[in-house]
Homo-oligomer: A and B are copies of this chain.
Amino acid sequence: MEQTYDDLIAFHGHSCPGLAMGYRMARAGLDFLSGTRAADEELVAIVENNACGVDALQCITGCTFGKGNLIFKDYGKHVYTLYHRKTGRGVRAVLHHGNIPDEIRNGRARFINWLLTVPEEQLVSLQEVVIEEPETARIMKSVECSFCGEGVMETRVREINGRVACIPCWEKRSDGWAES
């Protein structure tokens, strides 16, 4: 189940410095927790950006957008927090931007290679953290929108004159009154 950097390239579509950074951060965090890739929701990741590196994190940790164990906080920070449900342990991985030599950034291939091979402690700091256990994902029932006839999760339903509406149909009729 482990994924290599080549698997990450296949998923992301290309190699880039951001992917390499995310790879090192995710790998470091997972190793700190003595964890293995999540087949289901054993791990949860809280990511503080939505840049390339998060694709590496999805591949390495198995915390994926579609599984509900990837929580996005739009802080614009190179920080990933990993939580292991079984052990209750958490770790916060922070990228050391300041330790990246300016001259290495000039050549893309050289920069990626440097990121993939530099000793971990020079690139990533790890700190054990205590966090509240995030909720697990739930499967919801679908109901039918009275206006477009398409299915909609029962927790995302709006109402127009007592009739079930999906959000796009509700927004089209934003005065709250049905046309028909």
Closest residue of chain B to A56 (Cβ to Cβ) is B66
- Please give, as numbers and ranges, the residues of chain B lying within 8 Å of A167 by CB-CB distance: 74-76
- Please give, as numbers and ranges, the residues of chain B lying within 8 Å of A19 by CB-CB distance: 66
| B-contacting 9-mer, from A45-53, A102-110, A114-122 | A45-53
With contacts A37-B13, A39-B14, A151-B97 taken as known, whether A65 is within 8 angstroms of B74 at the C-beta atoms is no
> For the complex, what is the distance from the CA of A53 to the CA of B137, rounded to whole Å?
14
With contacts A65-B70, A67-B52 taken as known, whether A11 is within 8 angstroms of B58 at the C-beta atoms is yes
- Please give, as numbers and ranges, the residues of chain B lying within 8 Å of A56 by CB-CB distance: 66
Tally chain A residues at the interface, Cβ within 8 Å.
58
Check B40–A66 contact: CB distance below 8 A: no
Given B3, B54, B97, B150, which contacts A79 in the complex, CB threshold below 8 Å? B150
Min CB–CB distance A86 → chain B (angstroms): 15
With contacts A10-B1, A142-B97 taken as known, whether A152 is within 8 angstroms of B77 at the C-beta atoms is yes
